[in-house]
Each structure stands twice: as C-alpha cells, then as structure tokens.
C-alpha cells in the first residue's frame, strides 16, 4: 500500500471531484459532512475493498400489507423484484392542474401516467418499517403509490394507498379511485 504523506490536489483533480459531486447530486452541505469525522476514511476503506456499502433492497414482488377491509386487486409491473431503494431514482410527479391549485381526479392522473413506471404498496410497507429512509422533502406531500390497486370489500370501491407525515410520524392512508386530489398529492414514479 502506498503511503504518501504529501498529498497534492491540483486544479484538474479538484474540478473532476466537483463535476463528480454535481453529477451524482451532492449538495455543498453533504460535501461538508463528508469531510467531517471519519466519513472519508470509511469511503477509502470501501475503495480499497476492505468494506462494503449496503443499499437497502425492497422486494417489490411481495404481497403488500392488507388492512381494514382492503384486498389487493391489481399490481402493476414496476421492474426488478429486488429493487435498490435510492430516492434519487424516483420522482414525485405533480400534474399541471395541481400546480395551479386545482384538484385532479385519480382516474385522470392514472391516464396521464399510463406507460410510466409507478411504484407499488410494497414500498410503503418498507418505508413505514424504515422511516429514516424517507426523504425529508416528502414531508409536505401525500405520496401516492399507484402501482397497487386495492378493493374495499366492505364498500365495494377501489382504493390507492399513500404515505404522509403526521406530526413526527409517517403514516399510510388511502384514497378512493375517482376521488379528486388537491395539490398536496404527488405520485411516486421511477425516474426515467
């Protein structure tokens, strides 16, 4: 192992780092955090093959949780069964009507997103079990998981689940297919 006590970082290398940080979505605050404590040492251990970084995987082929009088009636194909959870690979979709403060019918939202990869309710279950993995920017929204449709057998209506923040806790809720969604709702999609 090379031990060079004299490290030189020229302008070209600094620019490479800057471009790499920008390309992978780093913020200045995150770069500062990386430089604190022993975080860079841990990255070095990973680069040298002495440690591994583990990214949580979600089994999107599992059966989502059932609650109340809901039964799963439709699951949409969303991609690989064991999907690596990276919020950077997702986007929160907002319809132009919602941007203007108007309500949007869930049926219209589904038509608008036909052909796009939506995520199913298995991810809600995963995130509720691991709330520290939920991006802080989701706190203002009701995040819809359009990849699973439930049937409320008691009231004979179709429903879609969503994730939302209530106080300091994350909760799961549902809306009836056909309901109108205000501007607080965002559909979770796989980023293309």
Confidence of residue 74 (pLDDT cuts 50, 70, 90): low
Contact 186, 90 (CB under 8 A): no
Q: Considering the chain, what is the average pLDDT of its residues?
A: 88
- Longest CA pairwise span in the chain (Å): 72
* Residue 158 Cα distances to 53, 83, 148, angstroms: 40, 26, 10
Both tokens of 102, joined, read 């108007």
Rounded-to-integer distance, Cα 161 and Cα 188, Å: 11
pLDDT tens digits for range 25-67 = 899 998 999 999 988 898 899 999 998 988 888 888 887 877 6
Both tokens of 92, joined, read 């929160």
Question: Which pLDDT score, from 0 to 100, does residue 58 have?
Answer: 87
Question: Which pLDDT score, from 0 to 100, does residue 105 have?
Answer: 92
Mean pLDDT confidence for 124-133? 94
- Residue 8 above 90 pLDDT? no
* Better-scored residue on pLDDT, 76 or 186: 186
- Residue 93 above 60 pLDDT? yes
* Better-scored residue on pLDDT, 53 or 7: 53
Mean pLDDT confidence for 103-126? 91
| Lowest mean pLDDT segment, chosen from 3-12, 30-39, 44-53, 109-118 | 3-12
Question: Which pLDDT score, from 0 to 100, does residue 129 have?
Answer: 94
Both tokens of 186, joined, read 């965002």
* Stated pTM of the model: 0.76
pLDDT tens digits for range 139-188 = 999 999 998 888 888 888 899 999 999 999 999 999 999 999 999 999 99
Q: Which of 173, 163, 119, 109 is CA-nearest to residue 141?
A: 163
- Residue 2 above 60 pLDDT? no
Q: Which of 70, 142, 62, 64 is CA-nearest to residue 106?
A: 142
Q: Which residue has the tokens 């039964």?
A: 71
């Amino acid at each position: 192992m090379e031990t060079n006590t004299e490290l030189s970082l020229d302008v070209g290398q600094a620019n490479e780092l800057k471009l790499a940080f920008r390309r992978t979505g780093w913020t200045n605050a995150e770069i500062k955090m990386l430089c604190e404590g022993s975080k860079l040492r841990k990255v070095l251990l990973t680069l040298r093959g002495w440690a591994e970084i583990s990214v949580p995987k979600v089994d999107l082929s599992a059966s989502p949780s059932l609650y109340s009088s809901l039964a799963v009636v439709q699951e949409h194909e969303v991609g690989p069964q064991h999907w690596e959870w990276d919020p950077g690979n997702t986007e929160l979709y907002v319809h132009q009507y919602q941007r203007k403060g108007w309500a949007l019918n869930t049926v219209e939202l589904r038509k608008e997103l036909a052909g796009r990869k939506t995520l199913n309710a298995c991810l809600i279950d995963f995130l509720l079990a691991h709330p520290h993995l939920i991006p802080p920017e989701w706190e203002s929204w009701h995040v819809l998981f359009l990849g699973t449709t439930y049937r409320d057998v008691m009231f004979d209506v179709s429903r879609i689940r969503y994730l939302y923040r209530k106080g300091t806790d994350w909760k799961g809720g549902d809306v009836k297919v056909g309901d109108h969604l205000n501007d607080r709702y965002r559909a979770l999609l796989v980023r293309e």
